[in-house]
């Protein structure tokens, strides 16, 4: 019998984690014209992005990483959910610069945006998408701790498990922003429905 890798075991156990409902929140824009609303002193400090308050508690607290993709006619780099929660693995740092633009800390010329394909609204590297923005959440009028990621006043993300592929690619969870309108100038591709929902949260390093 083929033995389970550590990553596969984490994914397997996540399937049996308690299923929770995503909290019903009021989304409050924090302002995206500068870096003041992002974590750190005046928003300039590096931060992580991680999963928070998802319907699958098994991935809560997992950090994001990056993954290159190449579909028919499409290629680029997306922000994905890394299953390696251990601190032994390097975590990807992000930062805010200029007019509130989020970037990969070590690729300062490449902004992270949300793809305009409403069915495949991944956080991705490039300037063609919607601006990734900071939001607060309120529940029954009470401000919740943390800065949450989204665009166009939307902060709920849908997650899908992506199995490992060839050439050493590890398995991971993809994240797609939910509720975006159809963009008439963007080609829409087929996709899978999300397996569960949750939030993405910025946390200072």
Contacts of 200 (CB under 8 A, 6+ apart): 49, 50, 51, 52, 64, 123, 148, 149, 150, 155, 157, 175
> Could you tell me if 199 and 59 are in contact, meaning their C-beta atoms sit under 8 angstroms apart?
no
Give dist(CA 144, CA 40) in Å, integer.
Answer: 17
Is 14 within the bounds of a domain? yes
How many other CB atoms sit within 10 Å of the CB of residue 86? 8
Is 199 within the bounds of a domain? yes
Is 112 within the bounds of a domain? yes
Is 1 within the bounds of a domain? no
> Could you tell me if 194 and 176 are in contact, meaning their C-beta atoms sit under 8 angstroms apart?
yes
Is 178 within the bounds of a domain? yes
pLDDT value of residue 6: 45
> Could you tell me if 48 and 92 are in contact, meaning their C-beta atoms sit under 8 angstroms apart?
yes
pLDDT band per the 50, 70, 90 thresholds, residue 24: very high
Whether the pLDDT of residue 157 is over 50: the answer is yes
pLDDT value of residue 3: 46
Whether the pLDDT of residue 191 is over 70: the answer is yes
Spatial CA neighbour of 21 closest among 55, 51, 53, 52: 55
Q: What is the pTM of this model?
A: 0.84
Whether the pLDDT of residue 193 is over 70: the answer is yes
Whether the pLDDT of residue 42 is over 70: the answer is no
Is 93 within the bounds of a domain? yes
Spatial CA neighbour of 63 closest among 160, 186, 173: 173
Is 83 within the bounds of a domain? yes
pLDDT value of residue 163: 85
pLDDT value of residue 29: 97
How many distinct structural domains can be found in the chain? 1
Region 164-170 average pLDDT = 64
Is 77 within the bounds of a domain? yes
| Domain that includes residue 96, residue range | 6-204
pLDDT value of residue 171: 86
């Amino acid at each position: 019998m083929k033995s389970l890798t550590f990553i596969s075991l984490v994914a397997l156990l996540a399937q049996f984690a308690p299923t929770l409902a995503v909290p019903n929140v009021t989304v409050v824009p924090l302002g995206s014209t500068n870096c003041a609303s992002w974590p750190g002193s005046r928003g300039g400090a590096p931060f992580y992005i991680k999963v928070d308050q998802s319907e699958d508690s098994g991935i809560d607290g997992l950090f994001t990483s990056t993954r290159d993709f190449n579909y028919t006619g499409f290629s680029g780099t997306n922000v994905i959910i890394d299953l390696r929660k251990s601190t032994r693995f390097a975590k990807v740092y992000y930062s805010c610069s200029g007019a509130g633009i989020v970037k990969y800390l070590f690729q300062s010329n490449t902004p992270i945006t949300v793809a305009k394909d409403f069915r495949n609204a991944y956080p991705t590297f490039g300037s063609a998408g919607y601006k990734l923005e900071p939001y607060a959440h309120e529940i029954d009028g009470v401000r919740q701790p943390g800065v949450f990621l989204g665009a166009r006043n939307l902060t709920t993300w849908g997650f899908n498990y992506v199995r490992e592929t060839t050439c050493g690619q590890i398995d991971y969870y993809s994240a797609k922003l939910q509720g975006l309108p159809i963009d008439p100038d963007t080609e829409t591709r087929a996709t899978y429905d999300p397996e569960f929902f949750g939030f993405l949260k910025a946390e200072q390093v």
